Every structure is written in C-alpha cells, then in structure tokens.
Amino acid sequence: MKKFKSLILILFFSLAVTALAQADKLVSTGNEIASYLKNSFGINNRFEIAEPASEKSELVTVNPQQTANSIPGLLKNSVNNEIKIERFKPVPMRDGVKLYADVYMPAKPGKYPTIVIRTCYGVQRDGGHQDKIRFAQQGYAVVFADVRGRYESEGQWYPFKDEGKDGYDIIEWAAKQPFSNGKVALQGGSYLGHNQWAAMSQTPPHLVATFPGVASTNIYANWLTMGGAFRLSFNYGWGVVRMPNRIMLPQYWHTEAYTPEELKYENILWHLPLKDGDLKSAGYAVKHYRDWIDHESYDDYWKSISDEENFSKMNVPAHTYGGWFDIFLMGTINGYIGMRNKAATPEARASARMIIGPWGHGPSQAFGTVDFGPTANMKMFERELQFYDYHLKGIKNGIESEDPVKLFYMGVDKWRSEKDYPVPGTQYKNLYLTSNGNANSVRGDGELSFEAPKKAAADKYTYDPKSPVMTLGGNNCCGTPTQAGPYDQRPLERREDVLVYSSDFLKSAVTIAGPVKMKLFAATDGPDTDWMIKLVDVYPDGRAMPISEGILRARFREGLDKIKLLTPNQVYEYEIEMTGTANVFKPGHRMRVDITSSNFPQFDRNPNTGDPFGSSDRVRVAQQTIHHGGPRLSSIVLPMVRAVE
C-alpha cells in the first residue's frame, strides 16, 4: 500500500512538472511571437488600424495588457485588413506599350486611396514586398509596376527617358480602377524616387502627394556628375554592368575570387578611353552609357529630363529624405528647396518636408566606420504612413503642424527640427587657408583661420592621373564596390599630392548646418584639371572623418552648361559647391580642409589634356598651385547655426 501511494505521489509531481514546463513553453512562445512582430513589423506598444478611406477613418489604440486577457478583443480589433494580390495586370501607355503591375489591396471590396510605385529593379526583387503588404493592410491599394523595358513590362529600356509620361499614364490608369477612390500618391527611393519627380512634372490630375527618397532631381548635376566630374564608379557599375538591358545583372564576373585578372574592377576601371569602356565588361556597346559620355555638359539632352527645370509646375506636397553620405544628397536637398520656394501652389510649398540623417543610401544606425547611436536610424514606413494618412485620408496626425525640416547633427548625434533649409538665421563664415608654402600632407604647415591672412602665399603639388588619390569614403553608392560614408582620411593625408589645412584645437563647439562651398584661387599648367575638396572633423585621437565633399571640373567653372578650357598657369577664382551637412565640431577637435585633384574611382581621372570627355587615352601630369592670403583669399564657407542643446 505504501508503494502504491508513493507511485501516486511520484505520478502527481511528474504531471505538475510537465504542466509547468508547458506553461513556460507557452510564455516563451508568446514572447517569441511578440519579438517577431516587433522586429518584422515594428509592432510594439500599440496597434494602429486605418479603415478604408471610403469609410470613416480613425486610429484605434489597443492596450496590450488588456488584450493579453482578452483574445476575442484582439480578434475584434485586428491590427490589419486582410488583403489580396492581383498579379500581372496590364497597364496601357499612350503609345500602346503595356507595363505590367502587381496590385496589393484590402480583400474587402471598396475604393481605396492608391499608392503607385514604379521600379526598374523588378517587382520580384527580394525585400520589395513587405511595405506593399503593410500599406494594403493599412487600407491602401498599391500598384507596383516594372518600368518600361524592364522585367515583365514591354518596350525598350533607356534610363530616365520615358518616366515622366509613363508616370502620368499609370497614375491616371490607377485612379480609374474599381479599387481606387481617385486619390493617388507615389512612393519609392533612388531611381524610384526620380520616377516620382518625373511624374510630378507632368501634373497628373489625380496625383495628391509624393514621398521621393534618396533621389536625384537633376540627372546630370546630382546623378551622373558632381561639378561636371563623371561619377565613374556609379555610372559604370550601375549603367554598364548592372542595368544595361532588361534585367539587373550581378557584378560577380568583376568582383569574386574566381574572377580572371583581366575582368577585375581593379583593372577595367583604369581603361581609357572611357567611351568604349563598356566593351571591357560584357563585350558590347551600352547605348545609354555612350550617350552619357557624348553629352558631357548640361545640354538639352539632360535638361529635357531634369526635374529641377519643372519645380514651378509641380502642384502636390512632396516629402523628401536622404543621408548626409548618400550619392544623391544634393537631389534630396534641391528637391525640398525647389518645392518650398517654387512649387505651383501655396499648399504644395507649405507642405514640403525633408528629413536628412547620418545615412548612406537609406536609413541606418551606423554607416562607414561610425556608429551614430540608436536614435540615428528611422523607420521610414511609419513616416510615409503618417504622410499618406494625412494627405490621402484626411487624418489629423500632427504632420501638418510640424517644422518642415528635420536634421541629424553629427558630432553630438542628435536630431533637431528646423523651420527651413538653409536654417533661418544661418551666418556664413569664411575659414581661410594659410601656410608658409608647404601644406603638402598632414606633415605640412597648412592652417585654417577665421582671420583673413594678410600675407600672400601659395602651395604646389603634382597631379599624375596614373597615380590618383584613391577613394576612401564619401558620398558614393550602388555602382562598383567603393567605400562610402565616414572613413578616417589619414592614409590619404600622408600623400604629398594632398594639401592639408587644419585649425587650432577648438576651445568651444562650432555648429554648422546647411550648404558648404569652397572659394579657391588656383592655377594649373594645362587646359583642364579637377579640384577635389573635403571638409574633415579631426578627433582628439587624430581620426580625420570627412563630413562634406565637393569637386569641380575646371572647364565648367562658369556653369555646367558652359565648357571653357583654361589658359595654362593663369590664376582663376573657383566656387566649388560641396555636399550639405550638419555637424558639431566639439571642443578639443580640429577643423580641416583637404585639397587634391582626384578621387578615383568615385570620379574618373581628369587627364589634364582638355580633350573632349572620354575620347582619348592620352594623359599628362599637371602642376597645381593653390593661392591664399593677401588679395587671393581662398576659404571654405561654413554655415554657422545656433548650438545644439
């Protein structure tokens, strides 16, 4: 009998332990689900429900603690709409070409505000579907289409050419579909962002709002070139290797360990003349690439596809965003400024918005070699949803009363809202170059001072296109694998063909935000050359981190649409536009300016010959002279703003 009782007791404890284990497992599973929801969809302490625009729209907040005790309550207040997807929908263009689109929409029949997205990377691309599903779950119809000549769409691929009129046609098509309430917005970044600007310039009547991210607004000035210097790494890697025809190709045959030496980027990017460099990749001529080289200045070919020529026609709100180290940063900035000051209607001007973070070609916490802290990253979907909810659904969610600009200040790693860009109250201050004639390398005697030096002096260096300064960070992206973002510049600053000018150690913080430019008095002994400038924040431990850069091809000194070669050895005054920035130089840091004549392969090597662009394999060594002090006050112009609290 005692043995029987003991067995019963053992069985009881076994069942109890098993029950506790199952309970722990359920709790663990619940935590895993919660973690998955948070990581995958950003769902944390509240659920937002956007009802279809055809019905009354509202936001419903669900208390997670109450929901935990009420499964029927969770089902009743479902976080999202059920959705459906309709694939391979033909969209006729005005010339009879059919584009093909996938449509994401709520499963419940109705008329919904509609978001149009047009991609050159294929609707099948990994990572391209989550936001479309989420928009549909939030009560939007989403038309996701391949652009003309790409993937499933008909027609001939030629970058940029047809995006304006095709954008108009697909917007108007979408507005007339049974699933749409006639209100259409646009979404997408990079080339997809340019597509938005191009469509806006055509003023489609059913377009209500746009959200172009990390996008160019002038394909010549802030996509193909900077200051007239050809973005070789990007244009070759994107235009020749990845995007020559109907599908996007990988770069493996130029980058992998098994790649033959003759095909490695390290060799083919050095090929001259540039005009037939496409043959070094896949053995055939890429028409759009050759056209880019043929049109070396900002001529009618480029003006016909420039969004900046059309800001005064654009009549709907636009929200731009970008990164301080993005290749298209100037497009982000110019897009906001253009809409804020030139848009066709008061509403469009007042509704312009811009966010710039310490990012490359999209939001992140760390970029290059710098971690900017947990607040640096931003979930752009949430911002887009807020923008669309306000403009397409009429939901008063606060975006209408916000300051129009939000900037991330590097150095202190803080966000601050601003009333405009450039920041109101900005004081532009000259930081002057000076030396005793030996500013070559970080070992030289180059200095920076807010006081104009009275003594005239000059620094000299040699620029050899066969031994260029190599790219080390900066505003680069998306082409051949080239470093981008903030990288320590000291390996370059040890070169004799880099002039280095440094301030004293700062006793108090210097805060800048906005456009930066270089005023440079310089001469070269040939008919053409490049001037490459970097603004650098030097840390107490010696790290030299770039925060702004600019380059000017000397033949474009009077404008990107004017080619004028130089008189050898004549001193010219150059004004070099640099990338915008926001940075706090802390006490104990130093400000620095680096000057040279190359940044390869981010930009092609200027051969110093004055020959038509890309036409020759001839190069010559140039002797460069930078003048400063006295009557030739070379300086970098800094946008000084109030301190960041």
Which parts of the chain have pLDDT scores under 70?
1-80
Specify whether the CB–CB gap between 628 and 544 falls below 8 A.
no
Burial code of 347-381, b = ≥16 C-beta within 10 A, e = fewer?
ebbebbbbbbbbbbbbbbbebbebebeeebbbebb
Residues 6+ apart with CB under 8 A from 610: 526, 527, 528, 555, 565, 566
Q: pLDDT by residue (tens digit) across 249-260?
A: 989 999 999 999
> Quick one: pLDDT at residue 126?
87
Residues 6+ apart with CB under 8 A from 223: 194, 216, 231, 328, 331
For the beta carbon of residue 474, count every other beta carbon within 10 angstroms.
25
Same fold? 83-217+320-329+352-418, 427-640:
no
Q: For the domain 427-640, what is the CATH code?
A: 2.60.120.260
The pTM of the full predicted model, rounded to 2 decimals, is: 0.87
What residue type is assigned to position 582 of the chain? A
> Quick one: pLDDT at residue 327?
98
Interior angle at CA 146, CA 141 and CA 150, nearest 5: 175
Strand 366-367 relative to strand 510-524: parallel, antiparallel, unpaired? unpaired
Compute the CA torsion angle 275, 279, 280, 281 (nearest 10 deg). Answer: 120
> Quick one: pLDDT at residue 211?
98
CATH of 83-217+320-329+352-418, one of 3.10.450.40, 3.40.50.1820, 3.40.50.11540, 3.30.465.10: 3.40.50.1820
> Quick one: pLDDT at residue 34?
39
> Helices (DSSP H) in 229-328: which residue ranges?
232-234, 252-255, 265-268, 279-282, 287-294, 300-303
Give the pair of three-digit tokens for residue 475: 């505003």
> Quick one: pLDDT at residue 3?
43
Strand 572-585 relative to strand 447-449: parallel, antiparallel, unpaired? unpaired
Strand 499-502 relative to strand 366-367: parallel, antiparallel, unpaired? unpaired
Q: pLDDT by residue (tens digit) across 263-317?
A: 999 999 999 999 999 999 989 999 999 999 999 999 999 999 999 999 999 999 9
| Element holding 388 (H helix, E strand) | helix 380-393
Domain ranges of the chain: 83-217+320-329+352-418, 427-640
Compute the CA torsion angle 220, 225, 228, 230 (nearest 10 deg). Answer: -130
